[in-house]
Amino acid sequence: GQQVMQIPQYQHVQEGEDFTTYCNSSTTLSNIQWYKQRPGGHPVFLIQLVKSGEVKKQKRLTFQFGEAKKNSSLHITATQTTDVGTYFCAEDQAGTALIFGKGTTLSVSS
C-alpha cells in the first residue's frame, strides 16, 4: 500500500547545528502532517500542509510541501536539546486514516 518514506532514519547533531528530515511519496499527496514524539512519550501533532509549495514556520521549525505534492521536509535551525525525539510525517489515506512514515530519530549532544 501507499507509504511515505522518511530519511534519514537516525540523525545525531551537535547542539546549534541544523537538522532536516525528508518525507517522500511515489504518489501525489492530498496533504501531509508532521508529528513529534519525545522519548518515552506519545506522538504530538505539529502541523498540516495542504497546498503545493506551501511553507510554514513554527519558531525554529520550517515545514515545506513540494510543488508536486510528493515530498515534504522539516528543517530545524540551531537545534536544542529540547528538539530530541522522533519526527514522523503522515499521509492522508482516503480521508479516513493516516499512514505514518517510519520516522527520523534526532539526538542532540550539548
Partner 1 sequence: NAGVTQTPKFRVLKTGQSMTLLCAQDMNHEYMYWYRQDPGMGLRLIHYSVGEGTTAKGEVPDGYNVSRLKKQNFLLGLESAAPSQTSVYFCASSLIGAETQYFGPGTRLLVL
Region at 83 (left for phi over 0; alpha for psi -120 to 50; beta for the rest): alpha
Q: Cβ 73 to partner 1, closest distance in Å?
A: 17
Cell 517510519 -> residue: 102
Enumerate binding residues for partner 1 (CB under 8 A). Answer: 1, 6, 9, 31, 33, 35, 41-45, 48, 88, 92-103
Q: H or E element: which one contains 42?
A: none
Q: Cβ 39 to partner 1, closest distance in Å?
A: 12
The residue among 58 and 93 lying less far from partner 1, judged by its C-beta, is 93
Backbone angles phi, psi at 82, to 5 degrees: -70, -10
The residue among 83 and 91 lying less far from partner 1, judged by its C-beta, is 91
